[in-house]
Every structure is written in C-alpha cells, then in structure tokens.
C-alpha cells in the first residue's frame, strides 16, 4: 500500500511563520482597542476599510433604507434560506432537553439549558458579501433564545451591503454595526463607550479574525476557531474530473489561503483533475483568489484503498469533506474528524454554505478532532442543580459526604455535611469527626 502526493501545499514551517506574523498584528490591534476604545475603532476602520461614518451602528431608518434596495427576488431567496436554517436549528433545539431525575429516594438532580445572554455575530464581507453567514450566526442564536444579538459586518465597496444588512435584520439581530475584521470582534468582546461588550463571539472570518477570537477566548466565549475555508474532495472513479475540479475551486475562491485537497484512489482521476483545474482557472472570474489558494495550498493525494483514504481524511480533519464514491455511507459511519460531510454527487459544499439548512460555520485547522461546528447548542449553557427533599436523604448523603471529604483531608468540607447529619439526622457528631 502507498500514499502518493501528486501535488503538495506550502510546508508547515512556512504556515507557522505566517501564523506568528498574524498573532503579533492581532495582539497590537486588541491592545489598542483596550486602551483607546472608540478612537481606536475609528482609526482602524479608516486604515483597513477606508470607512469613517458618523456612527458605526445603523439606525432603524438606515436599516429600512438599505433593505428597500434589495430586489424582491433577492429578498425572497434570503427568506427561503433563512427558513431552512431556522427549521433545522429548531429541530436541533427540540432535541435538547432539560432533565430532572430522582437518583435516590429524596435526592433530585437536574439540569437546565439556558441561552447565553448576549452574542456578537461577525459576518465577513470585505472581499465578498457573505449574506449566508448572517443566517448561520444570527438566525441560530435567535432560535436558541439569545436576548441580545449584536451583528457586525465590514463595508462592501465603501458602504453597508444591503443584502447582508437585510439578512441580519430578518435573522433577528438587535444591534447592527458596520465594522470589519479584528476591530469588529475586538469592539464586541472588549466593549467601548458606544458598544456594550457581549458574552460570546461567533462567526467565521479570515486568519486575523480567527486569531482575534483565539486571543479573546476566556474573556468571552467563542463558537470555535473558524479560520480560512478548507475543503477536501474524496472521490473514486464513479465521478469525473469536472465535478472534482469544480468542487475544489468552488471553495478555493474564498481567499488566497484556502486549502483544497483531492483524495482519491484513482491515478487517472487525479491526473485528469489537475488538468481540469488548469482549464477552469483560465475562465473562472474569481481566479485572482482561487489560483493562489490552489497553487500554495492545494494538494492531490492518491491512495491504494478506501481504508487508506479514510485514514488520511481523518488525519487532515478538513472543514468541508465532499464524498463521491461507491460507498458514501461507509465514510459517514467511519469518519470521526471533520467539519461537515457532503455525501454524494447530488449535493455540494455550496449548498451547505448558502441554503440547505446545516450551519456553515465549521472547525478549521484540525479542530474537527475535538469539536463540531456552530449549532443551536453552542448558544446554550447547561447548568445543573440539586435538591434534597427529606431528612433521611440529607442524613444518608451527608454521611457519605463527611467520610469522603475527610478522606481527602478537607475538614471544612466535611463539616458542611456533618452539620446536616446533626440537624436533619439528630446525630451527635464531634467537630471534624467522620459520620458513621
């Protein structure tokens, strides 16, 4: 058995160097926001977005005026997409239950699923207006019951993008800001004189946004590390080079550093896909971004068997995994590390990105090894509680607690239990003594 790379992306050493540079830039920006607040936001917006409004927050009148610029067809399409996302998110929410159970006579344990109180949703849009990201973040937060949803997006060609603003408003955003990049997520997390801080940040973004979320984690919660788009196509000779090349470049056009990987057991398909990518890049209008992604981050890997392909796919843990083989459900059953699966040639990653209903904010940089993507459950906190209803239960649990606390040397802990044994069990028990 053998694994052959017909094309490799940049070596990890160069990628680490790029990440180090990004980390330093983000640290400086967040420190500036911490120190100077709104003044820093204004300067950063002028520097990076060439955008200097009177107010970054849109008024109701501003929002209405922008929504009136959206065509009826586009508005209908936005509403259709949001309905799909909302329906799936609601089904997920319905599957999450509060519980209460009597685990012993008189002992009641339970948990409640409580929405995060405030969320900042970042909607990318500097290069392409990411209308769909508003559905994925804002709509899902609304279904979860978040009471304050703040949404921020960069200006597009010098002004707010009407379709993005419409999607934010229709999705349920309570506050909408026209701010981009690190300054947007920094303002929402840190807060300024004009922007109250949120409890959680969600949404995808470029390498700088992803790094800002990483550095802000702990101060606020985050959904996951959702950096530049990644895609993998797992294919055998049941499909052709055109569909493989199209699906690879469809995600490579996101940005200059979006990894795209073909994983196949067909050398013929691999060679044909390389030729087809060259052909498509000559006619693709977004080749300016797709070409450097493919040249620097694209990979073609040929394996002997499906088992080898499975191992490689789980090791790479790509964000999007398009599976087009004679055994798609076998991959569904056996893959364990990825963002989302797209099974069969009839679906594709763009469906998931824009309309089908599953969330498109997904783990990147191998984070699929330990987390799934954004979903309604990310906006919920599961909090436990306990009740002891009878004197007999208080005495019984207290006696066990007393002995177990002293086993660890915690006398103060033991006395919390002992006090209940004395009061509710009527026992005479010396201070710091283990209950019988």
Distance CA 356, CA 376 (A): 16
* Residue 321 φ/ψ region, left for φ over 0, alpha for ψ in the -120 to 50 degree band, beta for the rest: beta
Q: Can 319 be counted among the known catalytic residues?
A: yes
pLDDT of residue 228: 81
Catalytic residue, chosen from 320, 360, 408, 413, is 320
> CB count, 10 Å around CB of 419?
14
User: What's the count of helices (H) and strands (E) in the chain, helices before strands?
Assistant: 17, 14
For residue 195, the 8-state DSSP code is S
Tokens representing residue 279 in the block: 């052909």
Rg of the Cα trace of the chain? 26
Q: Can 320 be counted among the known catalytic residues?
A: yes
Token pair 């993008």 is found at: 161
DSSP for 257-300, please give it: T--EEEEES-HHHHHHHHHHHHHHHTT-TTHHHHHHHHHHH-EE
Q: Do domains 16-105+114-222 and 226-372 have the same CATH topology?
A: yes
Q: For the chain, what are the domain ranges?
A: 16-105+114-222, 226-372, 389-435
Distance CA 187, CA 191 (A): 5
* C-alpha torsion 132→136→137→141, nearest 10: 140
Catalytic residue, chosen from 230, 276, 319, 415, is 319
Q: Can you say whether the dihedral through the CA atoms of 51, 362, 299, 267 is positive or negative? A: negative
Assessment of whether the complete model's pTM goes beyond 0.85? yes
CATH of domain 226-372: 3.40.50.1980
**Measured in whole angstroms, how far is the alpha carbon of residue 5 from the centre of its chain?**
30
pLDDT tens, N- to C-terminus, the chain (436 residues): 689 999 998 876 666 666 788 999 999 999 999 999 999 999 999 999 999 999 999 999 999 999 999 999 999 999 999 999 999 999 999 999 999 999 999 999 999 999 999 999 999 987 788 999 999 999 999 999 999 999 999 999 999 999 999 999 999 999 999 999 999 999 999 999 999 999 999 998 888 998 999 999 999 999 987 778 899 999 999 999 999 999 999 999 988 889 999 999 999 999 999 999 999 999 999 999 999 999 999 999 999 999 999 999 999 999 999 999 999 999 999 999 999 999 999 999 999 999 999 999 999 989 999 999 999 999 999 999 999 999 999 999 999 999 999 999 999 999 999 999 999 999 999 999 999 8
Tell the CATH topology of 16-105+114-222. Answer: Rossmann fold (3.40.50)
Contact 183, 40 (CB under 8 A): yes
Tokens representing residue 368 in the block: 């699929």
Contact 235, 264 (CB under 8 A): yes
């Amino acid at each position: 058995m053998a694994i052959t790379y017909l094309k490799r992306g940049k070596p990890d050493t160069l990628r680490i160097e790029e990440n180090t540079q990004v980390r330093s830039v983000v640290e400086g920006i967040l420190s500036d926001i911490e120190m100077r607040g709104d003044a820093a936001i204004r300067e950063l917006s002028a520097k990076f977005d060439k955008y200097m409004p009177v107010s970054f927050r849109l008024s109701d009148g501003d929002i209405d005026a922008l929504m009136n610029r959206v065509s009826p067809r586009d508005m209908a399409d936005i509403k259709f997409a949001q309905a799909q996302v909302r329906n799936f998110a609601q089904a997920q929410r319905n599957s999450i239950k509060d519980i209460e159970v009597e685990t012993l006579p008189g002992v009641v344990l339970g948990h409640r699923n409580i929405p995060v109180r405030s969320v900042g949703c970042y909607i990318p849009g500097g290069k392409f207006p990411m209308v769909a990201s508003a559905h994925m973040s804002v709509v899902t937060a609304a279904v979860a019951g978040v009471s304050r949803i703040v949404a921020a997006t960069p200006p597009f060609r010098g002004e707010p993008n009407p379709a993005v603003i419409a999607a934010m408003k229709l999705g349920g955003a309570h506050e909408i800001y026209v701010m981009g990049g690190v300054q947007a997520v920094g303002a929402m997390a840190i807060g300024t004189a004009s922007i109250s801080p949120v409890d959680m940040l969600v949404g995808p973004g470029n390498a700088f946004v992803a790094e800002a979320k990483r550095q802000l984690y702990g101060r606020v919660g985050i959904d996951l590390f959702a950096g530049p788009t990644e895609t993998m196509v797992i294919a055998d000779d049941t499909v052709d080079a055109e569909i493989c090349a199209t699906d690879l470049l469809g995600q490579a056009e996101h940005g200059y550093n979006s990894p795209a990987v073909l994983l196949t057991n067909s050398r013929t398909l691999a060679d044909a896909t390389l030729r087809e990518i060259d052909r498509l890049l000559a006619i693709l209008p977004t080749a300016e971004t797709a070409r450097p992604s493919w040249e620097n981050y694209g990979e073609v890997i040929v394996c002997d068997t499906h088992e080898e392909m499975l191992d490689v796919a789980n090791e790479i843990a790509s964000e999007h995994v398009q599976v087009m083989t004679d055994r798609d459900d076998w991959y569904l059953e056996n893959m364990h590390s990825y963002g989302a699966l797209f099974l069969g040639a009839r679906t594709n990653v763009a469906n998931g990105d824009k309309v089908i209903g599953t969330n498109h904010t997904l783990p990147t940089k191998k984070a699929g090894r330990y987390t799934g993507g954004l979903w309604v459950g990310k906006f919920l906190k599961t909090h436990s509680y306990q009740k002891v209803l009878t004197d007999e239960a208080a005495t019984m649990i207290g006696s066990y607690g007393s002995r177990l606390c002293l086993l660890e040397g915690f006398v103060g802990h033991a006395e919390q239990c002992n006090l209940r044994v004395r009061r509710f069990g009527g026992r005479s028990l010396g201070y710091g003594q283990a209950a019988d």
